[in-house]
């Protein structure tokens, strides 16, 4: 049996399901766009420092992955809540 806090957490997570999906898609788009931009900067400017920029792209893509995990978790919670016996 879930406590009141846990029930509220489940409901809040389910309500934010679409937000997690949209954040994941947006983060992937931004990460890929920055990767292309930094690749162009590296190509056009030989002394461009790519290291810190590469790390930023990796962190953005990892954030997208985490948002996708949260979306999948919310989807599973929604299914479990729908299937539970009355």
| pLDDT given at position 79 | 94
CB 42 within 8 A of CB 50: yes
Domain segments of the chain: what residues?
A: 19-83
Q: How many CB atoms lie within 10 A of CB 71?
A: 21
Q: Give the pair of three-digit tokens for residue 70.
A: 């949260």
| pLDDT given at position 73 | 97
CB 23 within 8 A of CB 60: no
Sign, CA dihedral 9-20-16-77, equals: negative
* pTM metric for this prediction: 0.85
| pLDDT given at position 1 | 81
Residues of the chain with pLDDT under 50: none
């Amino acid at each position: 049996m879930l406590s009141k806090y846990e029930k509220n957490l489940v409901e809040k997570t389910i309500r934010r399901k679409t937000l997690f999906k949209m954040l994941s898609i947006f983060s992937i788009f931004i990460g890929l766009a920055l990767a292309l931009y930094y690749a162009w900067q590296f190509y056009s400017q030989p002394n461009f420092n790519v290291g810190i920029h590469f790390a930023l792209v990796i962190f953005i893509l990892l954030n997208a992955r985490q948002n996708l995990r949260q979306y999948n978790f919310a989807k599973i919670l929604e299914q479990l809540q729908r299937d539970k016996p009355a």
